[in-house]
Amino acid sequence: MDATPLDPNAPPRSRLTQALGWFVTVLGLTMVVLPTAQTLARRFFDAEVPGAIVIVQHLTLWVGFVGALLATGAGKHLALSTAEVIPKGLPRRLSGLLVRGTTSLVCALLAVASYRVVVADASNGRTLVGDIPVAWSEAIMPATFGLMALRVALGPTWTGHERQPATWVDRVVGVLAVLAAVSFAWLPMNHALVAVLGVLMALAFLAGSPVYVAMAGTAMLLFWKDDTPIAAVPAETFRLVSSATLPAIPLLTIAGYVLAEGGSAKRLVKAYKGFFGWLPGGVAIMATFVCAVFTTFTGGSGVTILALGGLLLPMLLEEKYPEGFSMGLVTASGSLGLLFPPSLPVILYSVVAQVPMEHLYLGGLLPGVLMMVMVAGYGVFVGVRNKVPRQPFVGKEAAVALWDAKWDLGLPTLVIVTVVTGLGTVVEAAALGCAYALFVEMVVFRTIHPVKDLSRVIATASTLVGSVVILLGVAMGLSSWLVDAEIPTALLEWTQTHVKSPWVFLLALNVGLLLLGSVLEIYAAIVVLAPLVAPIGVAYGIDPVHLGVVFLANLELGFLFPPMGLNLFLSSSRFQKPLPYLYARTAPFLVILAVGVLLITYLDFMTTGVVRLFKH
């Protein structure tokens, strides 16, 4: 087997982690089988699999929550990058205690609140397919939140990317926070306590507590302030199962991670180098395209940098590209490809902003190509200026390399064809894509062993799924309070009063998303900001698809924006280079992509024109 773990420095998995890995693997494979069977039954037998989609929707909740528990142990929950700048020593030690205490408190509160939801639904007799009680599906919420609270209270915590072991002081703080949560759930409302906890929540958020903790804690405080049961937050979270497209997120995440683990990167690099290596700057073009395709598979630029960095950087240096340019290219290219199918951020934006997913993919086609071509064009310029040698084009070798990569390129092709031709829904297409990826790596290439490797790969994928699902769930709770308080309406009125032109609004949006995208992980940014931005865009007459593409393109740019851009931190860690060094090396790419974002923003025919063309 030539597969290598996406995170080669990951510690050995404990028995509990292994057991959870197998459990989530069974859930994930069930999610693959049911929609696939549904598609085949409808296609060949004109029949349906009873309750398949409903079960898959509820399994998404289970995969998400088990993944969230695994993400808690691995320190993979989405958090602000600002935690990295806290000085080591006493300041970071105190910030770790604050993060531990607030996270334990919020998770324990969510466990108590979701338990109340389960009890309420168990008493009213609500059922699912086959008379399965709804409470059985909901039970995963209090169980997982309770285990997360204990895990944070008693185990090591994470400040940024640094793992902090638990001392007796840490455990005392964690246990006291859990006990406080149990007591707090029964306290009458107190305005002074709301203010104190709100300040602590904000400080913990800046210190590196997960974004879901800040959002859930804030939502529960706001509901408590209004004398509304805090169970409103997990009650809204459970509404996730009503989303018809949400199951595509875990399915495509698993597919992407399976291909990544199975050596897809090496095959793609070989294929693209065979076809582009003879051009001026051909290896730089290859690196740009491979990173974009890989990010499309995995949905996260962080995965691209970690998985491809060690492969592409030596290759670029061997071809005599300058070290600074090579690092800047890999760092910048790690955020390309987020607009192409089956990219997960597009699916998440579609779910949150209620914009048709297929329209977003169509609208993002030309903008995505534009940004790739601009980065690749700079690579050509550097290659020519530095007289980088070119390899001869050998048609037979290039064809063989492309043929070897046909299975990897088949995943997006299968998903697109299934949806466009109407052979299946988005979820069914995602299930077919996941089944395809499993077949390719376990049967065709045999790079993933079904016993030794599969549970680890799916468990790793589920940590990303869990961090996204739990964030989206608690965001629904916070959004419910915001709607009740008419905050979006007030924000819209203020914006329309002070910003008269849609073009000025788009420029302000560019700047705001650039700044926020540099400190918020892309999934967190979508969940937090899209519900607020989308209705304002509609009020200004901006096409929802165009707004969505502009939104996502800006977040791509935010990955490179100093001092907090996520790609900068990941490259610094991957290549062992100081951040100021990377700031300078990525600056040309930041300028290039900024020009691309402005072109996308103000030349709306690139998004709306393609959608109109295919709609007619």
Query: In three state form, how does the secondary structure of 107-133 look?
Result: HHHHHHHHHHHHHHHHHHCCECHHHCE
The helix, strand and coil proportions of the chain, stated in percent and rounded to the nearest 5, come to: 75, 0, 25
pLDDT surpassing 80 at residue 188: no
Instruction: Tell me the one-letter amino acid at 102.
Output: T
Question: What are the backbone dihedrals phi and psi of residue 142, each rounded to the nearest 5 degrees, phi first?
Answer: -65, -35
Instruction: Tell me the one-letter amino acid at 412.
Output: P
pLDDT given at position 154: 92
Name the more confident of 482 and 372: 372
Q: How many other C-beta atoms lie within 10 A of the C-beta of residue 314?
A: 11
pLDDT surpassing 70 at residue 585: yes
C-beta separation of 230 from 223 below 8 A: yes
Query: 211-225 vs 90-124: helix axis angle to the nearest 10?
Result: 60
What average pLDDT does this structure show over 107-123? 93
Domains of the chain: which residue ranges?
A: 80-234, 248-615
* Alpha carbons 310 and 1: distance in angstroms, whole number: 19
pLDDT given at position 283: 83
Q: What is the pLDDT of residues 540-578, one digit of tens each?
A: 999 999 999 999 999 888 888 886 677 887 777 677 787
What average pLDDT does this structure show over 262-266? 79
Q: Which is nearest to 341 in space by CA: 362, 371, 370?
A: 362
490 contacts: CB under 8 Å, gap ≥ 6: none
Highest mean pLDDT among 258-262, 456-460, 493-497: 456-460
For the chain, first and last CA: distance in Å? 48
The token pair at 397 is 């070798």
C-beta separation of 540 from 508 below 8 A: no
pLDDT given at position 458: 94
pLDDT surpassing 50 at residue 475: yes
Per-residue buried b or exposed e for 212-239, using 16+ beta carbons within 10 Å of the residue's own CB: bbbbbbbbbbbbbbeebebbbbbbbbbe
C-beta separation of 11 from 414 below 8 A: no
DSSP state of 77: S
β-pairing, 162-164 with 157-159? antiparallel
Minimum mean pLDDT range among 163-172, 341-350, 484-493: 484-493
Q: Which helix (H) or strand (E) holds 159?
A: strand 157-159
* Alpha carbons 403 and 437: distance in angstroms, whole number: 17
Q: Which long-range contacts (CB under 8 A, 24 or more apart) does 223-227 make?
A: 223/477, 223/481, 224/189, 224/194, 225/189, 225/191, 225/194, 226/481, 227/189
Per-residue buried b or exposed e for 520-536, using 16+ beta carbons within 10 Å of the residue's own CB: bbbbbbbbbbbbebbeb
pLDDT given at position 1: 33
pLDDT surpassing 60 at residue 160: no
Minimum mean pLDDT range among 182-191, 233-242, 250-259, 591-600: 182-191
What average pLDDT does this structure show over 213-238? 90
